[in-house]
Amino acid sequence: MKRLSELEVAIFADGAEKAGMLEMYAKPYIRGFTTNPTLMRKAGVTDYESFARDILQAIPDRPISFEVFADEFSEMERQARKIATWGKNVAVKIPITNTRRESSIPLVERLAHDGIPLNVTAIFTLDQVQSVVDAVRGGAPAYVSVFAGRIADTGSDPLPLMVEAVRRLAAAPNARLIWASPRELLNIFQADAIGCHIITVTNDILRKLSLIGKDLADYSLETVQMFYQDGRAAGFAL
């Protein structure tokens, strides 16, 4: 197993809680950050722009993605162009479709070739991957965010799809593939093994990084000790 310092995949922290983002910013192996409206709502964010500008002041030198939250493409475009002005390290997240399953590819192509860094998100199929590759090729830097974890949630193995996505992104040197929504620490090593460029990871998974390379016999003993101590602390009796 590789050590953390040997991984080639870039680890981005995924979240919208300021204290947690700053905790990860202090770690040099965190190469960037992503957010989304769901994470912001969960974190209690009520003023989108104020939150974003505050974070960008605290984290001025690593890539950060902020997502549009409109459903009409004209409003998505207005929001995207505004968000793009907030900092040189900002990428604008655009969902692959709107809620009516209308493709956002024409907007993605227009923004990419107007020089706006993008993160095209909520991608689940290779057809979607290919459409983004075709749209952003030759444009501004772009991320292609495939939700491998959610694909796995359906009972489908995401690895073959991700391997093929890596291959297809070779046609767009300005684009980088993101393994999004991982479910376990192992996914970081899987993403690294197939040559995926980036993996976005939540803080609860990132905090498990200290377990890398841990002796499994020792881990077994610690687990037994945990069960024993919790049984005693609960005062269980038979």
Q: What is the pTM of this model?
A: 0.94
Q: Is residue 227 part of a domain?
A: no
pLDDT tops 80 at residue 162: yes
CA distances from 99 to 34, 69, 127 (A): 21, 11, 18
Q: Is residue 88 part of a domain?
A: yes
Q: Is residue 130 part of a domain?
A: yes
pLDDT tops 90 at residue 100: yes
Domain count, the chain: 1
Q: Is residue 221 part of a domain?
A: no
For the stretch 18-77, pLDDT in tens is 999 999 999 999 999 999 999 999 999 999 999 999 999 999 999 999 999 999 999 999
pLDDT tops 80 at residue 159: yes
Is 93 tagged catalytic?
yes
Integer Cα distance of 188 and 190 in angstroms: 5
For the stretch 181-235, pLDDT in tens is 999 999 999 999 999 999 999 999 999 998 999 999 999 999 999 999 999 999 9
> Residue 204's domain spans which residues?
4-212
Looking up residue 170, the CATH number of its domain turns out to be 3.20.20.70
Q: Is residue 126 part of a domain?
A: yes
Q: Is residue 233 part of a domain?
A: no
Q: Is the dihedral of CA 95, 100, 105, 106 positive or negative?
A: negative
Q: Is residue 218 part of a domain?
A: no
Which is catalytic among the residues 27, 82, 93, 214? 93
Q: Is residue 229 part of a domain?
A: no
